[in-house]
Chains A and B, each alone.
Chain A
Amino acid sequence: GAPLLLNCGRRPPTADSATAADKTNPRGKHCLWLCFRVLSSCLEIFVLCPPLTSDSISTVLAAATITMTLTSTVCFPRQEIMKWNGWGYSDSKFLFNKKGQAEFTGKRYRLSGMVLPSLQDWFENTFGASVNHKSPPALNASAVPPASLNEAFVEDLKATGIPFSHEAEDRVFRAHGHCLHEIFALREGKKFERVPDMVVWPNCHNDVVKIVELACKHNVCLIPYGGGTSVTSALECPPEETRCIVSLDTSQMNRILWIDEKNLVAHVEAGIIGQDLERLLNESGYCTGHEPDSMEFSSLGGWVATRASGMKKNVYGNIEDLVIHIKVVTPRGVIEKSCQGPRMSTGPDIHHFILGSEGTLGVVTEVTMKIRPIPEYQKYGSVVFPNFEAGVACLREVAKQRCAPASIRLMDNEQFQFGHALKPQVSSIFTNFVEGLKKFYITKFKGFDPHQLVVATLLFEGDRERVLQHEKQVYDIAATFGGLAAGEDNGQRGYILTFVIAYLRDLGMDYYVVAESFETSVPWDRVLDLCRNVKERINRECKERGVQFQPLTSCRVTQTYDAGACVYFYFAFNYRGLADPVHTYERVEHAAREEILANGGSLSHHHGVGKLRKEWMKESISSLGVGMLQSVKDYVDPDNIFGNRNLL
């Protein structure tokens, strides 16, 4: 039970060890390091046998894990392994091959290297798009506003030895999250109005303290950057900001500092990426169980700053349930509690000023969070319901009986069909035959309408016996709502969809289709009304705004709570014929959000507010509430050093 010090892999040379020449030219240094890294990854792939990973880690990520055993996922110049103008890894993407069949490239995912024969039909039928209509090739983001550096700050920073860069590529990469308008702008080569003037890579808490001190001293604006997966315009630089903007990239603070097995907590640097955290803990036989859909790329600090929610929260809790202690560097100093008591009555919980603060108060540097032993057994499952209403009623009952599995999600019919479109080519005639039989049984024998039926995907975790018992309980409830068990495969495929859907958006954009997702939480009795009204609102807004093709609107219930559920919407449309598709898209999303609020949904369940949804904050938490948050901001950061202008 001794605390361990883990290092998550090869790290870039620190400024201390670099030569004087390197210091003035960090790029050169990175290039050298990169060559080394690429070489070594090749070696890893070809020489090392892929180690067998334990069952517990999401098997979906199994392939990705192979390359990750020794290296940290996110390196210094992220753009070397990740797309600069799209989602995820550069090597993983959907494309239509010469035969017109869709395939997913790379080796990282279950779907990687597979041909998806039904995707093209689905794609063309759903959107009225055609694989022959490819949108014009993306231009290069050549025009980046010149860096306006605060020389005094740069001088002082150099003295600390903390690495930094003002290369255009580094700056642009950190100027955005993954909102549609951001990615669209990158693809179109549109110029960002404002990007960070430089990027710094602190290595530890103390580095952050130094940087924040210098920023205060020289009145420089700091924007913390974790995984960069924000979808709320939270990473966008305020165009009106005239000070030098420094992007504080936490990616190098990625160590697990210690694990305390007596109390089952781990102390972790906040820059660590979800999959690394999970993988490293797994090595010691533990996990956090926190698996947001973005866990491949999002960071612990980001989770804290946005009140993230994980797929398996029913077992492990959301981020606010998981954190025991948080260390935050603010312009006023460091905030932390004096002990690790599991619950305290010491006035309002100061953690809740930090959770969801979205980088407006400071930088989260270290977090102590709960860990659990890796579960012995994991099992996927799925249930088909005749319609969405029956599915929601079942989920409600499961929540009422408090027997929700680690994850339970209900996809609507559109998503069910979408999931089918992603079925890989099956080589065996037998599998084909079985699939056909299943389909016959459900649609013909049981009389389910294929245009109505929905599917719930399930994930059970725990010891084997209990999982099986639990599974029976859930299937029994489902049966009372007309649900039919539909096998493990369907369940697992549902979760695969989660990880690849962001890649699919990039494919869509190649063919004039724009897409985005948004979420809310809503009381149980309003779930159905909200889903129906929001979809209808989107359809109507699209029509009124001249979208020529029927949009795809789809939703799923992704989390159950005692008093309500989290609902996640996908929305996509073919934008051929529109002058400004992004603007149209934004107006429609805006209307959809208003509809959500009018139907009793929240402003956000886990994406956060950022700048995208700021305008509704007063309505959501009352102007007095906004005032309370503002006064905290004014006290902690009177000079608005953390000036990303999120939230308020």
Chain B
Amino acid sequence: SVSSSFPFSLLSISSSDETNTIDGFEDILEERRNSSDLKYALRCYAPVLYKGVTPCKANMLKNIVLQSDQLHYVINQVSQESGEAPDIIQEEASVILEEMAHRLQISTVRFFAFALSKAFKTLFQHVCVNEEGIQRLQQAIQEHPVVLLPSHRSYMDFLLMSYILYTYDLALPVIAAGMDFMGMKFVGEMLRMSGAFFIRRSFGGDKLYWAVFSEYVKTMLRNGFAPIEFFLEGTRSRTCKSLTPKLGLLNIVIEPFFKGEVFDVNLVPVSISYERILEESLYARELLGVPKPKESTSGLLKARRILSEDYGSIHVYFGQPVSVRSLAQGKVNRSTYNLFPRHIPRKPMEETQSFVNDTAYRIVRLQEDNMVLKPWVLMASLLLQNLEGLELSVLTEQTVWLRGLALSYAAFLDWPDHAPTAKVVSSSLALHRGLACVSGGRVSLVVGEPLGPVTPEEALFNRAVSVLSCASYRNQVLHVFLRPAMLAVAMLHLSDEVYNCFSFLWDMFSNDFILCPGDIVQDFEEACYLLVKTGAVQMPQQDIVMTDIGQPTLSFFNGLLEPFLQGYQVVCRYLCEEASEGLTEKQYIPAVRSFYSVLCVFTGNLRCYEVLSSDMQKNALAALLRMDAVRKVKVADQVTLIVNKMAVNSIDDILGKNRMISHINQTQISPGLSLVAVAEDLYRDGLTPSYIR
């Protein structure tokens, strides 16, 4: 039996009752509003550098890279393989480097400092930076090479970062940016001169490109010429949930430590929280399949319209620098690097790979933890559970309740001091009037109404846009509630097989949420601890029982995850019922979308608009692939999906059973079937049994 072998002691959880305080932020716009921007842009800028290193001119840097042993090795290798003379390959390398390299110029930075000051003052009320973090960063920059790892929610992010560092007289970073920016003729070059270097989005097997790129980054890091900045998430998160980290660049910046070329590397997680994201509705449309507008200068100019709106405030939190050395202590044996020449590129060892992966997840979690949350994210969470609308008084009351819950779960909540709740709620509604409105004392989501007759599909699309936009705010608070919420879902369904159910959900959702690999037990303990702490559950002996007062909390949590459970279930249904034999990977997303549209239009009572989001569809597919319920087969140039209908059906069953209170009828589920039995069935079908103890 599972519950009797309940293996964890709750005592092991540190019971720190500290809640994050929102104090210690400084509004850097305040000074901008009171003094000359021009003077600010022209002021003396003399940052402290790594161990007093002399700054390196962009050209000198290129030469160091081109003359490095590392690059020479690969050039000779490529030359031997291709039969081309090394000179020619060397020339190619030089061209690649030219295309890639930054040309940081202080004059350009000054220009941006001026222009952004103007822009920020119109767009935002405040740009708040934690001062303590700045001090820590200043210290860290002098001690060891620094890698800045900001969250990525907006195009603004990296300009904002450089702006802040300039403001505080800190060394300007060099920033890894996607090649797509280079499409913007003039702007691309401007960005380059403000410290961006450009990498192609994909360069799969191109050894030479990889060598130039990694040597370029490592050279800057080893010599500590400038902090290196890149986005672990790889791209802007359209959903405001943190994305599963990409490891390529992190591998590159960590390797010099393993090879002993630097004593340590400091990773600095930076959380940039926007009260309102500039790209808000753009993202929702993109998720619904309206293609992303290509980055272009004219597009940027058109986007000026946004200058007339109020985007609230931004909070930038510079986290505690994370020492790679301390993290790797006892996890990676550096001496395994002793037996191989360091200039020869090598695939990282398994031990290293899993360390880098683990590190990436931890950093993203640190980013999440320090995201500043606004009252609106709580309200959005509540509104999404009441799509038909809520009485304003009820919303206010529940928001207050949710605030208490969030604070006791250590959410980094920016709730205005000494302001009456009603005022907080109404000003949030005012700022987000594009998303929600109050009419007749009821608050509901705003749905864009195009002129003229609307087809059911169009109506659905509009509805989905508003739900997804709103969801992008709810998503910001998910990391606070995720673990207890998964436990709540597990409990409400099958209280005696809670851990199994929890681990099933954990596994299932590990693409949608940041769940550190291998942390499942720890996460479960944390979930138990938090629910017990807020009195929602009790744990007599080895059992987990809902308390008398636990109902609102648990059902809120259940509702919070409902869209995900439903979304995954729709995907499962589609794969079981509709998917054709030769379904290709490319067809998958539009097919799920139309399957849902049809389902929705016909039944009329489905409300899980979020399944229309390509993000959720991709994550669901990734989960099914991971669980071996779907396989990818490459036929000719197409990737085809082979569905194991039995397995998918079983997963659908578990998801369905998980939602006893869901809106979808559950006729398919045989009533007597326990989760364990289902899970065992899955196991027999070759599913990963990791969540079965």
Contact = CB atoms under 8 A, between A and B. Distances in A.
A529 interface: yes
A599 B342 contact: no
A597 B337 CA distance: 11
Interface of B: 259-261, 263, 333-335, 337-338, 341-342
A524 B62 CA distance: 25
Contacts of A530: 260
A537 B341 CA distance: 23
Contacts of B341: 525
A536 B263 contact: yes
A599 to B, nearest CB: 4
Contacts of B333: 598
B146 to A, nearest CB: 16
A244 to B, nearest CB: 41
B265 to A, nearest CB: 13
A600 B335 contact: yes
Chain B interface helix/strand/loop/mixed: loop
A472 interface: no
A600 B333 CA distance: 11
Contacts of B334: 598-599
A529 B335 contact: no
A619 interface: yes
Interface centre among B259, B263, B334, by most A CB within 10 Å?
B263
A282 interface: no
A532 interface: yes
A526 B260 contact: yes
A533 interface: yes
Chain A interface helix/strand/loop/mixed: helix
Contacts of A529: 259-261
Given A525-B342, A619-B335, A600 B263 contact: no
Nearest to A529: B260
A283 B661 CA distance: 103
A598 B260 contact: yes
Interface centre among A529, A530, A598, A600, by most B CB within 10 Å?
A598
Given A529-B260, A600-B335, 11 more contacts: A525-B342, A526-B260, A526-B342, A530-B260, A532-B263, A533-B263, A537-B263, A598-B334, A599-B260, A599-B334, A600-B338
A597 B335 contact: yes
Nearest to B258: A598
Contacts of B338: 600
A600 B337 contact: yes
Interface residues of A, number: 13
Contacts of A598: 260, 333-335
Contacts of B259: 529
Interface in A514-559: 525-526, 529-530, 532-533, 536-537
Contacts of A525: 341-342
A533 B256 CA distance: 12
A597 B333 CA distance: 10
Contacts of A533: 260, 263
A555 to B, nearest CB: 15
Nearest to A536: B263
Contacts of B342: 525-526
Contacts of A599: 260, 334
A599 B261 CA distance: 9
A185 to B, nearest CB: 31
16 contacts: A526-B260, A529-B259, A529-B261, A530-B260, A533-B260, A533-B263, A536-B263, A597-B335, A598-B260, A598-B335, A599-B260, A599-B334, A600-B260, A600-B335, A600-B337, A600-B338
Nearest to B339: A600
Contacts of A600: 260, 335, 337-338
A455 B637 CA distance: 64
**Chain A to chain B: the 5 pairs with minimum beta-carbon distance, closest first:** A598-B334, A599-B260, A600-B338, A536-B263, A529-B260
A537 B323 CA distance: 13
Contacts of A619: 335
A537 B334 CA distance: 15
A582 to B, nearest CB: 24
Contacts of A537: 263
A467 B338 CA distance: 38
A86 to B, nearest CB: 35
Nearest to A598: B334
A446 to B, nearest CB: 19
Contacts of B335: 597-598, 600, 619
B361 to A, nearest CB: 24
A526 B339 CA distance: 12
B89 to A, nearest CB: 24
A138 to B, nearest CB: 38
